[in-house]
Amino acid sequence: MNQPDYIYIFNDFTDTGNDVRMIIPSSGKCNRVQANINERDFIRRRQRSKFPAIIADLIDLAVSVWLADWLSKQRGGRQYKIRIELPVRHPEILGGTDSIKMLTKTMRWYTEDNWEFVFHKRIASPRRAESQPLCLPDDSPVEVALWSGGLDSFAGAFNRISDSSEKDFTLFGTGSNKNSFGVQKELADILKPCLGTNLKYMRLPFSVSNAKKIKKNRLLRSRGFTNVLLGVACACLENQNYLYIYENGIGAINLPYTEAEAGLDHSRAVH
């Protein structure tokens, strides 16, 4: 079997970050970057359920895929092979035959590249968000939705709130763009008078440092996978079985359009 074009070896994600080795086998080059996940809102604003270990695994997986896709520079229009080695709490679940088959198939659909995943047993202590006690579990209905701050996301939320003013809503934003979180909060605050205390905005920022000298893949083809998976994690932490996506998929209206969006299928790059 052909060797990977890129290999990403992750340490355990902790509250202080994750040291990641990026290896390019063809050249023998090795870079080290730092990945960070900010779960502050999952600590301060989560009120409905405990924090299952498998949900923490999904968060780590989502951010790992985003990082690997972003740092895997594409050239020549050929298919690349990307390998991720990631410590998780439940390698017997994520590393199972069916899970690996589904995961690699999904990533090939999102990116049109070939992916390989190896899951090891995590040894670090749980992060603070996982250990946060929950006083009053709540299973009342709440609509959890991805919240990008785009026009279609705002219009969708407004329509849903107008039709269901008696419901609770949680709008969930994620990503690595600090500026977008300010827009998301500002727009959520505009909607809040429609619902009062029944609307909650939560966010899960993540970031990568020490990567300035590494050439990037600006298309970020996997962002739809990452955003949806993190949204699912938020829905589970809100004790819900559904995640709502207000974007209309193909032709998503997130203005202004940027150069990075040229050629994207928005049904895959949603949010």
Domains of the chain: residue spans and CATH:
6-129 (no CATH), 133-261 (3.40.50.620)
Measured CA to CA in angstroms, residue 52 lies from 67, 158, 195, 242 at distances of 23, 31, 29, 17
Both tokens of residue 126?
Answer: 């749980």
pTM of the entire predicted model: 0.89
Contact assessment for residue 108 and residue 18, using Cβ atoms and an 8 Å cutoff: no
Question: Mind listing the pLDDT tens digit of every residue in the chain (271 residues)?
Answer: 589 999 999 999 999 999 999 999 999 999 999 999 999 998 887 666 788 999 999 999 999 999 999 999 988 778 999 999 999 999 999 999 999 999 999 999 999 999 999 999 999 999 999 987 765 666 678 999 999 888 888 988 988 888 877 789 999 999 998 888 999 999 999 888 876 668 899 999 999 999 999 999 988 889 999 999 999 999 999 989 999 998 765 445 555 556 655 555 555 555 5
Determine phi and psi for 82, rounding to 5 degrees: -120, 130
Strand blocks (E) in 176-212: 199-209
Torsion sign across C-alpha atoms 17, 88, 243, 198: negative
Hunting for tokens 């902790």 — which residue is that?
Answer: 14
Q: How far apart are alpha carbons 194 and 86 in whole angstroms?
A: 43
Local structure of 123: helix, strand or coil: coil
